[in-house]
Structure 1
Amino acid sequence: MLLRTFGWSFGITVLGLVAAFFYGGWTAFGVVAILTVLEISLSFDNAVINAGILKKLSAFWQKIFLTIGVLIAVFGMRLVFPVVIVAISAELSPLEAVDLSFNDPDRYKELVTDAHPSIAAFGGMFLLMIFLDFIFAERDIQWVRWIERPLSRLGRVDMLSVCVALIVLLTAALTVATHAHQHGGEHADKSETVLLSGVAGLIAYLVVGGLSSFFENRLEAGEQEGDEQADRGGSATSATALVGKAAFFMFLYLEVLDASFSFDGVIGAFAITNEIVLMTLGLGIGALYVRSLTVYLVRQGTLDDYVYLEHGAHYAIGALSIILLTTIRYEINEIITGLVGVVLIGLSFWSSVRRNRALAADGDDAGPTPAQQA
């Protein structure tokens, strides 16, 4: 099971490290290894969230997530995305931006740093909406009850998460964005840029998430109608087309989600290296492990066994969104960003273990079940 899920990750790791060695010797080898660990540590919460969505998809779409999705994640977000950011911010053609990344990596890093406010605002708002929709939803299982219980009651107010997100965005635009961090330690007023990018991130979440929910609801309604017809003796309605549409938009939602999680990894990578080749190799290998971990969590049913993991991941998402918005003005070490997610998920895992032990102890105290007696 482990080898089948992580086999490609292990193989690509070896090839990537060998390629790095031939590209730049042991120094490049070490840089790629560090970037791989950085990406995995920063994106572990991404794997948990993705697993909660991916378990709703068929085995076919899970394979698509591991194949086409990996190509999008590695080449789209870890190679093309930084180049596009530089091209747009510096008003260059994509070819000029690629040439700049290879021949003048320092200038390339400066342009990406200057574009960081728009990146952070877009990604921060997208991730914040994920957290708010989770924390305002009513659910049977609650982890931090003194927080989640009153917030779930407030969540009955329509569009509350959107209102809170817009308030946070406006606050960021009027505070941290007025002295946004730029290269060379300088600061500039990026309020308008942050507002536009943040609204774009909010729209992206509402459109992609809304389409995913729409087709998922259509699928459930079609399946229910088919079951009712079968109960009446008729033929069940086929929901194949609905499955395809629902799966496609959920896959699209996963890719946008992964893109939002990638922002901090891509930006953080510039603190380690300016070379686009090493950056793509290290972050790409890390992204592949994150995807393999997502599928492993789904196939093992880990989220069902450790029920607070999803809570911890969403709290990590909320923390990451605030960190991203804060980095518009202040530099925050990537180690701190990674540790916040790891600590929150670790605490949720330990709480899940304690819950399982308590339930097992209660079961033992209750005596054998009728099935065990039989």
Structure 2
Amino acid sequence: MILKTFGWSFGVTAIGLAAAFYFWGWEGFAVVAILSVLEISLSFDNAVVNAGVLKKMNAFWQRIFLTIGILIAVFGMRLVFPVAIVSVTAGIGPIDAVQLALDNPDQYQEMVTDAHPSIAAFGGMFLLMIFLNFIFEERDVHWLGRLERPLAKLGRIDSFSVGVALAALLLTASTVATHAYQHGGTYSDESSTVLLAGLAGVLTYLVVGGLSGFFENKLEEDEERAEAEVEEAKAAGQQPTVVGLAGRAAFFLFLYLEVLDASFSFDGVIGAFAITNHIFWMALGLGIGAMYVRSLTIYLVREGTLDEYRYLEHGAHYAIGALATMLLVSIRWHLPEVVTGGVGVALIGLSFWSSVRANRADAATRRGGGDDGDGGGVDSGKSAIPSGV
């Protein structure tokens, strides 16, 4: 199972490290390996959240996300994105930006550093919206019940999460962003830039997340009627109309996942500049890490891990909230990559251990005959995913 799921990642790792050694020697090999580990440590929560969304999609769209989606993740965010930043901020063409990265990597890194406030504001607000909508939502299973239950009640207020997010953005723009870090250890007032980029992040979440949620909810509401319509259409030799609806729902879920992955990529791309400003080393290292995120997502869906370990998704969303906060804080203060990656891993690790303890308690209760085996809403069945992906 491990080889089948992680085989492509192992293969890409071998090819990437071999290419790094062939073209740049041991130095390139070491840097690419370090960047790969960095990306994996920073993106574990990304895989958990991806799996939670991916298991709702049909086989076709799962393959789209795991094939075309990974191309966007590897080449789009890890190679094109840093170049696009410089191209936009410097007002030069993409080819000139690549040439600048090759000929003058220090200046290239300076331009990316100066663009960090807007990047962090957009990604931070998008991720913050994901966390707030999770924490303010009514749910049957609670990890930190004393905190989550009262917050879920507050979530009954219309647009409460949006209000909290905008308040956080205003606070960030009026305090942290007034002394945004720039290259060379200087600071500048980036309040307006952060405000606009943060609003764009919130708006992107509302549009993409809202559309995907709308179609997803509509599918759930019409599920029983849709099944009858499908049977009637098949009997008449016609294409079921529900397929088109499912396609729209999955399409917007796909867009949501891509924007989500992009937001998670920001800290990895920016953090990579603390190690190297060589764009091809960055692309190789972060690309290898992204492949492992893909494989881990497949593993979580195939094994039904989110159902078996009930608090794992909670831990991932708390990690998202922590990452969103750290992105906003990083506008002014540099945070070591070990902190941004370590906090997320620690939260997910705690949620996993809590899930294990809860499962053991359920098993002990069942052995004592005091429970019907429901396990607090945990479904031990495995989720389906195309085995050929």
Q: TM-score, normalised by structure 1?
A: 0.96
Change (3 A) 1:326 1:145: same
C-alpha distance in 2, partners of 1:348/1:367?
A: 25
Counterpart among 264, 267, 288 of residue 267 in structure 2: 264
C-alpha distance in 1, partners of 2:84/2:372?
A: 61
SS of the residue aligned with 2:123?
Answer: helix
C-alpha distance in 1, partners of 2:231/2:89?
A: 60
1:294 aligns with 2:333: no
C-alpha distance in 2, partners of 1:67/1:18?
A: 23
C-alpha distance in 2, partners of 1:83/1:53?
A: 30
What is the aligned partner in structure 1 of residue 310 from structure 2? Answer: 307
> Equivalences for 1:129-140 in 2 at 5 Å?
129-140=129-140
What is the aligned partner in structure 2 of residue 12 from structure 1? Answer: 12
SS of the residue aligned with 1:158?
Answer: coil
Contact 2:142 2:148 in 1 (8 A): yes
Q: 2:147 is aligned with what amino acid?
A: I
1:275 aligns with 2:264: no
C-alpha distance in 2, partners of 1:119/1:369?
A: 50
Q: Deviations over 1:321-354 (max 9, x none)?
A: 0000000000100101100000000000000000
What is the aligned partner in structure 2 of residue 59 from structure 1? Answer: 59
C-alpha distance in 2, partners of 1:303/1:160?
A: 27
Q: Deviations over 1:81-101 (max 9, x none)?
A: 011111111111111111111
Compute the displacement of 1:313 (Å). Answer: 0.3
C-alpha distance in 1, partners of 2:281/2:147?
A: 42
User: Aligned-residue CA RMSD in angstroms?
Assistant: 1.9
Q: 2:89 is aligned with what amino acid?
A: S
What is the aligned partner in structure 2 of residue 107 from structure 1? Answer: 107
What is the aligned partner in structure 2 of residue 351 from structure 1? Answer: 354
C-alpha distance in 1, partners of 2:201/2:226?
A: 37
What is the aligned partner in structure 2 of residue 163 from structure 1? Answer: 163
Compute the displacement of 1:174 (Å). Answer: 0.4
In the TM superposition, structure 1's runs of 4+ consecutive aligned residues that sit over 2 Å from their partners are 217-224, 226-232, 234-238, 367-370
SS of the residue aligned with 1:239?
Answer: helix
How high is the sequence identity, in percent, across the aligned residues?
67
What is the aligned partner in structure 2 of residue 363 from structure 1? Answer: 366
C-alpha distance in 2, partners of 1:37/1:4?
A: 21
Count of matched residue positions in the alignment of Structure 1 and Structure 2: 370
Compute the displacement of 1:278 (Å). Answer: 0.3
Q: Deviations over 1:123-149 (max 9, x none)?
A: 000000000000000001000011101
SS of the residue aligned with 2:157?
Answer: coil
SS of the residue aligned with 2:332?
Answer: coil
Contact 1:226 1:235 in 2 (8 A): no
What is the aligned partner in structure 2 of residue 37 from structure 1? Answer: 37
C-alpha distance in 2, partners of 1:13/1:295?
A: 17
Q: 1:287 is aligned with what amino acid?
A: A
Compute the displacement of 1:217 (Å). Answer: 2.3
> Equivalences for 1:310-321 in 2 at 5 Å?
310-321=313-324
What is the aligned partner in structure 1 of residue 92 from structure 2? Answer: 92
Compute the displacement of 1:356 (Å). Answer: 0.2
> Equivalences for 1:133-152 in 2 at 5 Å?
133-152=133-152
C-alpha distance in 2, partners of 1:59/1:36?
A: 29
Contact 1:179 1:189 in 2 (8 A): yes
C-alpha distance in 2, partners of 1:287/1:229?
A: 40
C-alpha distance in 2, partners of 1:159/1:229?
A: 35
C-alpha distance in 1, partners of 2:13/2:219?
A: 38
Compute the displacement of 1:235 (Å). Answer: 6.8
Contact 1:208 1:252 in 2 (8 A): yes
1:154 aligns with 2:157: no
Compute the displacement of 1:367 (Å). Answer: 7.8
What is the aligned partner in structure 2 of residue 180 from structure 1? Answer: 180
Compute the displacement of 1:211 (Å). Answer: 1.0
Contact 1:172 1:325 in 2 (8 A): yes
What is the aligned partner in structure 2 of residue 128 from structure 1? Answer: 128
SS of the residue aligned with 2:84?
Answer: helix
* Farther off after superposition, 241-250 or 215-224: 215-224
Structure 1 unaligned spans of 5+: none
Q: 2:131 is aligned with what amino acid?
A: F
Compute the displacement of 1:245 (Å). Answer: 1.0
Change (3 A) 1:77 1:230: closer
What is the aligned partner in structure 2 of residue 252 from structure 1? Answer: 255
C-alpha distance in 1, partners of 2:29/2:100?
A: 23
Compute the displacement of 1:227 (Å). Answer: 3.8
What is the aligned partner in structure 1 of residue 76 from structure 2? Answer: 76
Contact 1:52 1:303 in 2 (8 A): yes
Contact 1:62 1:295 in 2 (8 A): no
Q: 2:206 is aligned with what amino acid?
A: L
Q: Deviations over 1:46-96 (max 9, x none)?
A: 000000000001222222212101110011000000111111111111111
C-alpha distance in 2, partners of 1:111/1:230?
A: 55
